[in-house]
Amino acid sequence: MVRKLFILRHGEAESGRNWTDINRPLTDQGKKDVLIVGAKLNIKGIRFDHVLCSTARRTRETASLFLEPFTEQPNLTFREELYNATLDEVQREIMNIPRNYTSVALIGHNPSVSSLATYLLDTQFISLSPGQLIAFDLSIEDWKDLYKGCGTLFEI
């Protein structure tokens, strides 16, 4: 069975001048961008069983806007471990996803989301921009089987 993983970097956020990092909100452009990404996936009939999201304000706002176009809402879990996470910490979160979920979205931060994309493709570093989504088919039977190079990009 192929598993699908969608990695979304949070939308463009306000600068840190007036906010603590974890409380930075999305800019108006950031809000618009992630709403468009969600709408495009919804129109194409893409669905998720589960969404893993960092607890930072900008990722929570991203999740809310990204999922807004979908009539069928997936299970949504906020994980503190995804804020300021290393690649190893993100991998652990993915490997703990229940087996019955086959299509999962991860909403997080750089550098961990870009590092994860690079790890899954086993390629040169991929740098995701704010609000950018990248989607993978993973050649694994269970999330706990995640390994370097198990991903193949698929077109959305």
Q: Which CATH number fits the domain that encloses residue 61?
A: 3.40.50.1240
Q: Does 145 map to a domain?
A: no
Encode pLDDT of 99-135 as tens digits: 999 999 999 999 999 999 999 999 999 999 999 999 9
Q: Does 87 map to a domain?
A: yes
- The boundaries of the domain holding residue 64 are 3-139
At 134 the three-state DSSP class reads: strand
Q: Does 93 map to a domain?
A: yes
How many domains are there within the chain?
Answer: 1
Round to whole Å and give the CA distance between 153 and 137. Answer: 6
How many alpha carbons lie under 13 Å from residue 81 in its C-beta half-sphere?
A: 13
Block residue for tokens 């993100």: 90
Encode pLDDT of 56-110 as tens digits: 999 999 999 999 999 999 999 999 999 999 999 999 999 999 999 999 999 999 9
